[in-house]
Structure 1
Amino acid sequence: MAYAALVSLLRTLEESPQPMQQIPSDLLRKVGCLLEILDEKSSLSIRDLEGQIRDASFEAQDIIESHISSDELELSKSVSSGVGSCFWEIISALQDMFPAIHLCETSMEDKDMNELDEHKGLQRVIDELDSILEALSKIEDGKEEAPGAGNSRSAGCSRFVASNESMPVGLDEDLLHLKDRLTGCSSNLDIISIVGMGGIGKTTLARKLYNDRLIEEYFGTRAWVVVSQNYHVQELLTILVNSTRQEGGEVHKKIVEELDVRLYKNLKGRRYLIVMDDVWDTKAWDYVKRFFPDDNNNSRIILTTRQSQVALYANPRSPIHHMKLLSSEPSWDLLRETVFGQEDCPYEMEKIGRKIAKNCKGLPLAIVVIGGLLSRDIKEENWKRIAQDVKSTISKNDGDQFMEILSLSYDSLPHHLKACFLYMGVFLEDYEIFVSQLIKLWIAEGFIKPQPVETLEGLAKDYLSNLINRSLIEVRRRKHNGEIKILIIHDMLRELCLRKAQDEKFFQIVNRCSHVYPQGRNNQRRVSIHYDILPPLTVHDRYLRSLVYFCDRHSSNHLVFSIVSFRMLKVLDALTIKFNEFPVGILELVHLRYLAFCYTGNLWLPASICKLWNLQTLVVYRRGFGVLGPYNLYLPLNIWIMPQLRHLLFDKGFLPSPLLAKAILENLVVLENLQTLSGVKNFRCSEEVLEIMPNLKKLGISYVHDKSTEWSTYEFNNFVHLHKLETLKCVFIAKDDLVRKPLPLNLVFPLELKRLTLTGCRISWEKMTIIGSLPNLEVLKLRDYAFEGSVWEPNEGEFTKLKYLLIDRNELEHWYADSTHFLQLQHVCLNHCFELEAIPTEIGDNGALEMIELFRCRSSVVASAMLIQEEQQSLGNEGLRVRVNSYRDYVESLDSTSLRKRVYAGGR
């Protein structure tokens, strides 16, 4: 984790409240130089030095952050001693905190000694970095040499699952589809890529195609070559030339130029099939592709790879064949065949066997490995023991070989992605990971190296896409506009994360099996709690940087008593722990960047929250009984003097006006980093207020209306000044249902808006043109009489980019549309539309419609949806589905009781 440690140290140096005299001037320069070198060098070439770089970075960061923590604590004590004095004096002291980080009450002699020790420590680190830089300068990176240098794995080597490649269980549809592509009507040379995670069966599928009798007869010339991560071009060409030769003996020693010519001549004018198995980068393909002639005779090349970008590079116009994990029945079939061959499984063993197959989570490699273990001892008690923990069984037996195959994906990662991938192991097994949460955690942990022209969130999304393209994590669910919403990681890849994390001293998992931490201070920098009933934490608290809870405790005492000792903590995710009052010990954690917790009853955040001057993400949600009740969160004025804030996520939070903060604190700052403000109540959106948040991208507000307040006082028309706003959620609630009034028409939206949710506005459908004319709107959700009236007829050319439309509870009777509306509409959801007579058939004319969902609508609406489906099917659109939801389906779709969904997916 050398790269992540360096990036984190770099951010510590750059974000310190002021330069400290104790820090030698060239430390920042050396850290930057090391990062540049790591960006250029491969992981394998510097493996021996990574541990030294990591430990040196940790030591420097510990010294610097310990110094900052000590100074901040002394200042905090001096402020606390004046509690009996005037409120304004306390505010003044808090204001002075940032520039005054040397206001310690220790004696000058002690302070001088501490500073001398710190200086010596940092100088020792710099000397270590100098020696590392010198060593790095002597390393020749294999990827910078001639293609294929430094082969560590023969291009023709055997595979771990080679003996099982004859088993195409669960691949029938894949085989039929790819055989059609291999023998299809296209006469041009076609490159067909098979992509998937390690062990998913890419090679098995390619081998079955290669050995198929029909394919063997169709292609007069065939060749198979395993490329691997480190390859010799000469060896690749030699194998291809020998496999495609027409006559004469084998070629053994030829220079590359002669092999190039020989290969081209061997293939010229012939219909050939070449399989390039296990391709890791584009360089090998770049070198050999020019020797594959295209004679318009239906020749084909199959590429197997774990990386989508390699497949796209080889042939951007050809669809990629993505391998899928096996479902339950094919998993059992593969396990049964591995254990028993053509014989039947004993009846009493089948139930246990199916459970074992299920626990392999559809990965053929895991099923084959566990099948080999089961075949050694076919006894019920042995199988039951294995069924308890498949992963541990594999690890204890064939784990090294198994993990070696998966480790190839990790070893090939560029340095900047390794920490991001390993962090996936922090989460629980089978945990659905919200992308919005993951990105915030990555940034807070310091994994993202800042770039001048891109936000940290944008860079994090690029990192995420790269990991997905490398088949290391899987997309579980997307948003309605196609953006990734939820991720999962396969159990075996998560096991790889846990193993590598232990080797790299990256994080520790605490569960019922691991109450005691391994020795060594660097093992304690990140801790993830997976168990509800825990003894007191026994970590080396000085070095702990990240504490993430996934348990479901009913008391916060465990954390309250421990928190004050975690002085270096940067990430505290305690969203599963309920606090009855704000845990004031948190205010001593001046390095915190990410803070998440939940509360019961009413909660007032203290004004001294501003002491957390590094804080980027603050998540405070209500949990437990009365979630929908009158309890509220009250935020202090000092929120407006915390310039590092990026994301504020609340549940019924009252946020005071920044103008009031300006008048009282006289220290208001523009929150240029703030991108998310969610869950605030009755917030007045004056133009002057919104100017304080110029880069806001996501805003969620609710308004409770009473007789004494006019809607206009909230100045909704100023939303238009949020030029970067992409997501807006507005909920309007009448305090007295008997006096519900339509919202005055003063809603104006910014042109960049992509997602809009409105609830309870009661605006006339005639005014929908305000929304319909938004040029970038992709998602529109209208809830609880957001619009009222009986007729909706959009104007020409409206909703041109809308992909998802939800209408829930309204009085709409007639909905009209024509071919100029809803050109990209993919998903329509209608709930409680009791008066609506039909869905306009024209919304299907665009050919993009994929889903119509209905709940508690008239039978005529259902009939119109079925008619649209029939018309689309007659036009060749077989993908359109109509689903009439049950009450259970509807409730599950809301899932408003899920705390994580309320926080990271916006609830409803």
Structure 2
Amino acid sequence: MFPLRYQQLHAPAHFLFVATPFSAYDILFWEQIEGIHSSMAESTVSAVVGNIAGLVIEETKFLCAITLQVATLKNDLMRLQGYLKDADSRRRSGNDARAATLVIQIRAAAYEAETVIQAADHMEKRNRLKNGFLGAISRYARLPTDTTTIREIGIEIECVRSKLSEIFASIESLEIVDIGNSNVVEDEPPEELSILQKTIEEDIVMVGFRGDFTEVVEKLVDKENNTLSAVSIVAIGGAGKTTLSRKIYSRMSKHFEIVAWVTASQMFKGIDLLKDILKQIVDDIEEYKLIDQMSEYEVGKKINDFLMQKRYLVVLDDLCEVDTWEQINTTLKIFPDANNGSRVILTTKKKDVADHVEMRNFVHTLKHLDEEESWELFSSKALPSYNRPAINYVHAFEEIGRKLARKCNGLPLALAVLGAYLSKNLNLQTWSDIELGWPVSTNETPQMMRDILARSYKGMPNSYFRSCLLSLATFPEDDIIFVSDLIQLWIVESFIPHTPIHTQEETAHIYVTGLAERSLVQVVEISKAHGWIEKIKIHDNVRQWCIEEARQDGQAGAPSSSSDTMLSYRTSFQNTSAQTLQATTANLRSFFGFGLSSVIVDPKLRLLRVIHVQDSSLKNFNKVIGGCTHLTYLKLRNCKDVSIPSSVGQLLYLQSIDLRGTELEKVVPNSLWDIPTLKHVYVSKVTPPARSSLQPTELLTLALNLDSAGTEYPYHAMAAFLAQMARLTSLTLIVNSMPAEMVKIFANMPHLVDLTMYEFHVLDKLPESHHFPQKLRRLCLYARTINEDPLPILQKLPCLVVLVLKGYGGQTMSCSTQGFPELQELELARNFNTKEWRMQFGSMRKLTSLKLGNFSKMKELPQALLHTNLGYLELTSTFLISQQDSTLKELKRRKCKVNDQYKSNGRMDLVMQGQYQVDMSKYRLTRG
């Protein structure tokens, strides 16, 4: 039992700590900023009221002694919501410090109310799990300790209500008015994602950068220059350096044997950057696993030796310091010159960094957009072509828009964000007011960017949406963020409201799309299978603005070490080493860590709801996990020295657990499956229970790597366990030599849309198509041998968009007219002995991408491919398909992109080791 009086009602501030490197040495600079401040206060109180209401409804009988107190507490919190907007408005004016304090007090009281009620709820849930004599007593009578706890809860509630009374007195004295709940959530859908996809593709054309693109590419492919050389792209933040470089990198990858991209600004030390490069270029699995243990000299030498044999392209994005370049190349000489045309691309804000490169170097300074280029980008956002027919007086908008575009000083990010904001406000008076009211100070580029971002932020429809944007500042600079992870995080942190039309997951996807429409996040990838955004990143300037916006209510300071005690609810540590992270406050609710080395976390952090740690080494972290009974989200990705305690089954609010790529010291306890609230599980070293007191029937996502659990595996127990998971929407099983009967486990999963099974030993025949979930949109089946042609069965699945198959050993495969009506991506990989592919006209009409691997006997491509939408064809080890094949020649004539020089990097087996996650959007392997 954990104590109830673990926090004091003294209105703590709400800070977000971001620990980042100050220099190449082990000196840490700590930025103290207020996390998700008053914009989150509205959503916080709303979420707390909803959570308390749910607990009270569920446990009315148990809480009968304090039901009236809880109901009154809930009503008080609901009343407070109406005053928050006025209090926040006064706080933002900067003239009323008391209003700022009041907002903080309201949030603190709401959090404490939730904690107190949840303590009682947890006790009741825990009693249900007890077995034997004590279990029977606790279910039919109240144990003395429980009676004492209920009494303490009543006292704590009275303390909270007393605090609320003081808050109401302050409201009256400050004459703050109730202007209603401003946190209304509209179930208005975003733009169609197909339109967003088109917009993204247009952005990639890079308005104004076509000349820059051509000039840089010419330097990279210069056949008269075979010596190692660099291209340095120099420009201020927001000018488009990374966008240009990514386009060049994507286009030029096929011209080099080895390619690698690293973002230098993320790295605390040169050694981290070097390891990142080596991990991208190494082929040997065992060698890959040893990289983290290598010294700086060993890593540098490995890179040099490997690149000496290849023609390579390496991009160093956002190189900030001369010292970093000296460390990675001048000292270690990791970039060898084999006189084979290898290249390095470097982007930086500082020209002196580019000038310091000690090799043949072409410095390309990125200029701001001219007036016409500015208007082209601005109008593509503010007045997109697909929207113009519905706009009245479009010429009047164009006239004002051209004036606004000129005021953005040719800065692409400013043009995109302002244009996107105005596209949501198609009102001539609004446009005119912005143009006429443009402050003189805004002509200074940094201030202009801040003002534009602030306008976009203020124009968001509700505080939930704003909280989602500010939360992105938690992630490291230039980090690529998986949207599925982000959505789970937003939901458990109460950033996503409940609405009558959409599920929380659907609302979160709408928010992600909304951020992309406003150009506040950059879309890295869109899922073909689902049509939603799959990966995003946040621009450096936007991230910095989010940090500054969150800092407004805080008393900014820079503590010299993590031992300084500060009051905080949300903390992020990045790239720290040899530190002990003390409890920054007993009230800490969300803990984030990235690139932590030999870090010990104080086990006194008992109120944590969120633990999100990546690429870190953690000691005794099981003690922290075991004590966090409120925990809802546990993500330990690519971590070391981790063990999950046997008490994990007592985390009765846990919704998401993600241990992908993490080296576990022992098997995950079976008590994990006793948690009834689990929705998303990604684990290895685990076995399903043959019998459990509670089953996590709420599971939506289940990804299990069972190879590491031992050679003897109870497959019948697994089948029985999975048969209960009727709500699953995504299932991934990684098992060595999976028995054929396991192919039937999804028969009782009608909602399944994603299925990956790796790998069967022998599959004689697939189940008939009606046994597959009919909503299936993405299917990945790997086998060493599939005896019967699987295509006639799978072609009948009505919603299948992405299909990956491995191991069919038959001589022929066939698909008929009208087969695969929705299929867009098809990959047939490894061990295909097919001689003939019989494809009838009318099959796979929507196919856009086809990858064929190890078709060692097939001599020609089916002509029916010419009646699809095929735009990309990849041929790996298809030795007998001639360049003179009539279908192949016609596809090339139609501008289908053909990659017949693709070489596998041999990393598929790393899925089995848990070192890589399957990037399901493209079925390639990406570092976790």
Normalised to the residue count of structure 1, the TM-score between the two structures is 0.61
Once residues 488 and 182 of structure 2 are traced to their aligned partners in structure 1, the CA distance between those partners, rounded to angstroms, is: 36
Partner of 2:483: 435
Match of 2:853 among 828, 831, 842: 831
In structure 1, distance between residues paired with 2:753 and 2:45: 33
Q: Structure 2 matches for 1:28-107, cutoff 5 A?
A: 28-29=74-75, 31-32=77-78, 47-48=92-93, 51=100, 54-67=103-116, 88=132, 103=146
Deviation (angstroms), 1:720: 3.2
The 1:509/1:870 distance shift into structure 2, 3 A limit, reads farther
User: Which residue of structure 1 lines up, in the alignment, with residue 825 of structure 2?
Assistant: 804
* Cα distance between partner residues in 2 of 1:96 and 1:422: 47
Greater relative contact order (Cα < 8 A, sep 6+):
2
CA–CA distance in structure 1, aligned partners of residues 135 and 918 of structure 2: 34
1:310-329 correspondence to structure 2 within 5 Å: 311=423
- Residue 4 of structure 1: CA displacement? 2.6
Supply the distance in 1 between the matched residues of 2:173 and 2:924 (Cα, whole angstroms): 53
Partner secondary structure for residue 699 of structure 1:
strand
Give the superposition deviation at 1:477: 2.1
- Distance in 2 separating the partners of 1:892 and 1:43: 52
Determine if contact 1:437/1:904 at 8 Å carries over to the other structure: no
Find the aligned partners of 2:419 and 2:880 in 1 and give their Cα distance. Answer: 48
Judged with a 3 Å threshold, the aligned counterparts in structure 2 of structure 1 residues 861 and 579 are, in CA distance, closer, same or farther, namely farther
Contact 2:825–2:847 under 8 Å retained in 1: yes
Task: State the alpha-carbon separation in 2 of the partners of residues 649 and 759 from structure 1.
Answer: 19
Letter in 2 for 1:699: L
Separation of aligned partners in 2, 1:172 and 1:794: 46
State the Cα distance separating 1:651 from its structure 2 match: 2.6
The Cα of 1:433 is off from its aligned counterpart by 0.9
Give the Å deviation of 1:449: 0.9
Match of 2:504 in 1: 456
- The answer as to 2:612 corresponding to 1:573 is yes
Query: For residues 393-792 of structure 1, what are the structure 2 equivalents within 5 Å?
Result: 399-414=446-461, 415-481=463-529, 482-504=531-553, 515-516=561-562, 521=567, 524-553=568-597, 555=598, 558-559=600-601, 562=602, 564-578=603-617, 583-597=622-636, 608-623=647-662, 633-637=667-671, 639-640=673-674, 642-657=675-690, 660-661=691-692, 665=693, 668=694, 671-672=697-698, 674-679=699-704, 681=706, 684=716, 692-705=724-737, 711-712=740-741, 714=742, 716-734=743-761, 742=764, 745=767, 748-760=771-783, 762-783=785-806, 785=807, 787-792=808-813
Shift of 1:771: 1.1
Q: Is the 1:838–1:860 Cα contact (8 Å) retained in structure 2?
A: yes
1:884 alignment partner in structure 2 = 900
Please give the residue correspondences for 1:175-254 in structure 2 after superposition, counting only pairs within 5 Å: 207-208=371-372
* Secondary structure, aligned partner of 1:807: strand
**Total equivalences in the alignment:** 660
**Equivalences for 1:852-891 in 2 at 5 Å?**
852-860=873-881, 863-864=884-885, 867-868=886-887, 870-872=889-891, 874=893, 877-878=894-895, 880-887=896-903, 891=907
Against the structure 1 CA distance between its residues 799 and 75, is the aligned structure 2 distance closer, same or farther, given a 3 Å change threshold?
closer
Displacement after TM superposition at 1:850 (Å): 1.6
CA distance in 2, matches of 1:822, 1:227: 37
CA distance in 2, matches of 1:464, 1:870: 41
Q: Deviation at 1:548?
A: 1.0
Per-residue deviation, 1:576? 2.8
- Aligned-residue Cα RMSD (Å) equals 5.2
Q: Match for residue 268 of structure 2?
A: none
| Maintained 8 Å contact 1:765/1:791 | no
Separation in structure 2 between the aligned mates of residue 800 and residue 140 of structure 1, nearest angstrom: 46
Aligned to 1:276: 401
- Partners of 1:904 and 1:209 in 2: how far apart? 37
Q: CA separation in 2, counterparts of 1:519 and 1:601?
A: 27
Does the Cα contact within 8 Å between 1:436 and 1:485 map onto a contact in 2?
yes
Aligned-partner Cα distance in 2 for 1:903–1:209:
36
8 Å CA contact retained: 1:525, 1:545: yes
Mapped contact 2:382–2:422 kept (Cα < 8 A): no
Find the aligned partners of 2:578 and 2:144 in 1 and give their Cα distance.
37
User: Structure 1: any 5+ residue segments left out of the alignment?
Assistant: 81-85, 142-167, 175-196, 213-223, 229-259, 281-302, 316-368, 373-396, 735-739
Q: Post-superposition shift, 1:816?
A: 2.1
Q: Against the structure 1 CA distance between its residues 499 and 607, is the aligned structure 2 distance closer, same or farther, given a 3 Å change threshold? A: same
SS in 1 for 2:846: coil
Which letter does structure 2 place at the counterpart of 1:498?
A: I
Deviations along 1:743-799, one digit per CA (max 9) or x if unpaired, are 67578311100000001173334343221100000000112x1x3211001122111
**Per the alignment, do residues 95 and 417 of structure 1 end up closer, same or farther by CA in structure 2, a change over 3 Å counting?**
farther
Aligned pair in 2 of structure 1 residues 96, 566: CA closer, same or farther (>3 Å)?
farther
Higher Rg: 1
DSSP-derived class of the 1:541 partner: coil
Structure 1 residues 862 and 607, CA, compared in 2 at 3 Å: closer, same or farther? farther
Shift of 1:496: 0.9
Q: Is the 8 A contact 2:481 2:535 kept in 1?
A: yes
Task: Pick closer, same or farther for the CA change 1:897–1:74 going to 2, 3 Å.
Answer: closer
Whether the 8 Å CA contact 1:601–1:632 is kept in 2: the answer is no
Q: Following the alignment from structure 1 to structure 2, what is the Cα–Cα distance between the partners of residues 60 and 51?
A: 15
One-letter identity of the residue aligned with 2:653: N
More off after superposition, 306-315 vs 648-657: 306-315
Give, as a single letter, the amino acid of the residue that structure 2 aligns with 1:4. M
Could you tell me how far apart the structure 2 residues matched to 1:639 and 1:653 are? 10
SS where residue 274 of structure 1 aligns?
A: helix
Q: Give the % identical residues.
A: 19
How far apart in 2 are the matches of 1:859 and 1:93? 75
Residue in 2 that maps onto 1:793: 814
CA contact (8 A) 1:804 1:828 kept: yes
Partner amino acid for 1:5? A
Between the aligned partners of 2:595 and 2:103, the Cα distance in structure 1 is 30
CA shift digits 1:322-362 (9 cap, x unpaired): xxxxxxxxxxxxxxxxxxxxxxxxxxxxxxxxxxxxxxxxx
The alpha-carbon deviation at position 742 of structure 1 amounts to: 3.4
Partner of 1:137: 179
AA aligned opposite 1:616: Q
Structure 1 partner of 2:41: 5
Query: 1:842 is matched with which residue?
Result: 864
CA contact (8 A) 1:772 1:799 kept: yes
Query: Residues 629-655 of structure 1, C-alpha deviation per residue, up to 9 Å, x if partnerless?
Result: xx9844415524x33222111135322
Measured after TM superposition, the shift of residue 546 of structure 1 is 0.8
**Contact 1:621/1:903 (<8 A) preserved:** no
| TM-score when normalising by structure 2 | 0.60
1:308, distance to aligned residue in structure 2 (A): 4.7
1:815 Cα offset (Å): 1.2
Offset of residue 821 of structure 1: 0.7
On the 8 A contact 1:833/1:856 being kept in 2, the answer is: yes
- The letter of the residue matching 1:655 is P
Aligned counterpart, 1:219: none
1:443 counterpart SS class: helix
Which amino acid in 1 is paired with 2:789?
E
